[in-house]
Amino acid sequence: MNKREIADHEDVSVNTISRWVSLGCPHDRDERGRYIFDPEDVETWRHDNIMPTYNDSDSERPSPKEIATFGLNMAKTFLGYLESCDRCKKRFLADVEAAGKK
């Protein structure tokens, strides 16, 4: 599937798929450099890496430990992303500095 098809399949935006790719979502590229996704690989990655939403009032909510673990893992993933992208790091630090001046 291409980016639009996998976005439709996952019921998310193309921008979300781009963000997932930057966070490690499995993909290949065709001879023209376009993204190619295997829906099963994306489903597995999403299940393992993206926090589920809890809309059902009957569903069990995550424990404080699960929430803390998720937050720590997201922070580690975000830090890895910032460390690998100088442009992103500069923009993030500028945003933090601007927020501190408010």
pLDDT band at 54 (very low <50, low <70, confident <90, very high): low
pLDDT value of position 59: 67
What pTM was estimated for this model as a whole? Answer: 0.52
Helix (H, G, I), strand (E, B) or coil at 86: helix
Instruction: From 77, 30, 23, select the one nearest 3 (Cα to Cα).
Output: 30
User: Which amino acid makes up residue 44?
Assistant: T
b or e along 83-93 (b: 16 or more beta carbons within 10 Å of the residue's beta carbon)? eeeeeeeeeee
**What are the Cα distances from residue 2, in Å, to 18, 40, 43, 61, 96?**
12, 14, 15, 34, 35
CATH for 1-50 is 1.10.1660.10
pLDDT value of position 101: 81
Model confidence over 21-39: pLDDT tens digits? 999 999 999 999 999 999 9
Domain boundaries, the chain: 1-50, 57-102
